[in-house]
Amino acid sequence: MQAKEKKENRLLKELRFTLNQVKRSYMSIIGLAIVIFFVVIAIMAPILAPANQPDPYSNPRVISPYPLPPSSTTPFGTTGPPDYSDIYYGVIWGTRTSFIMAFTILAISIVLGVVLGAISGYFGGIIDEVIMRFTDIFFAVPGILLAMLIVVVMGRSQVSLIVALCAVYWCSYARLIRGEFLRVKVLPFIEAEVALGTPKIVIIFRHILPNVIAPALVLASMDIGSVVLSLSTLSFLGLGFRPGTAEWGVIISTARNWLLFGAWWTILFPGIAIFTFALGWNFIGDAFRDILDPRTRRGLV
């Protein structure tokens, strides 16, 4: 009974601490509001922009010889030929696309980076050298160029986009976790586990990893916006999603042909979506860093 009460008190302290840290920074409140706004849009997409085609992620075509300005039937206007995309529909369903792709890419990148970083940092020696030199190869190539190369080799598809961006982002987590493992594995409580003969796999994933994962979570929250920017960049360059897909970068890629003709709405609305989405997650990342920073948690028992 006492253990249960102690656990409940601990949870209450955690919740109170988290809320206090969020309230101390108006930036984190703004970021949280932005992210919640996009979450609501993603959830409400079938209501906000009902799909009239089998694939809801395919942008419906509004045939017109030139981009149509915002109106009651097309609130954000259209892009005109060759895609004839409804910008409002693309922005709404593009929110879902961004969430799905960003979380998928980061989940794979974090798992791969954490596993390799943990192995490298704990065992050291030749294993550490091989993994870190392999990581350096990926760091040596500019991220967007590496992603472009992989997409060109594999072909333009959703799978190739995931593989390309995972190849760009996993190495940051591997290096980060490796550094944290080097710091924690020499602490007394880990040395005590080693002296007791605790299996290495248990030491790595039960005793060290929970104590070093916080920086990776902070990095992941900031990388969500970066992943969406990378996706939009690849689509803008013609290497991302195929034309007609409800994705912010695809809309901008089509819209650039009409910007010089005064069709400002073709860039404005998807551009605002990309900017605010990335900004919100960056603000959230700052809040996570404050909440998970051990130096600010010393008074939390």
What is the DSSP annotation of 100-152? HHHHHHHHHHHHHHHHHHHHHHHH-HHHHHHHHHHHHHHHHS-HHHHHHHHHH
Q: What percent of the chain has pLDDT over 70?
A: 88
Predicted TM-score of the model (pTM):
0.86
CA distance 227 to 220: 10
| Average pLDDT of every residue of the chain | 85
Q: Is 67 helix (H, G, I), strand (E, B) or coil?
A: coil
Give the Cβ contact number of residue 142 at 10 Å: 10
The pLDDT of residue 85:
85
Per DSSP, 261 falls in state G
CA distance 81 to 258: 9
Task: Tell me the backbone φ, ψ of residue 109, rounded to 5 degrees.
Answer: -65, -40
Q: What would the pLDDT profile of 237-262 be if each residue is shown by its tens digit?
A: 888 888 888 999 988 888 877 877 78
pLDDT at res. 64 = 80
Q: Is 92 exposed, middle or buried (0-12, 13-18, 19+ CB in 10 A)?
A: buried
Taking the C-alpha atoms of residue 84 and residue 251, their distance in angstroms, rounded to an integer, is 10
Residue 253 neighbours by CB distance under 10 Å: 24
3-class SS of residue 245: strand
Burial environment of residue 23 by CB neighbours within 10 A (0 to 12, 13 to 18, 19 or more): exposed
Calpha distance 118→130 (Å, rounded): 13
Domain 37-62+71-296 has CATH 3.90.580.10: no
The residue ranking higher by pLDDT, 220 or 12, is 220
pLDDT in tens, 44-103: 999 999 988 888 888 888 888 888 889 888 899 888 787 788 999 999 999 999 999 999
- Which of the listed ranges 109-113, 187-191, 284-288 does the model predict with the highest average pLDDT? 109-113
Weakest-pLDDT range from 7-11, 21-25, 101-105, 120-124 = 7-11
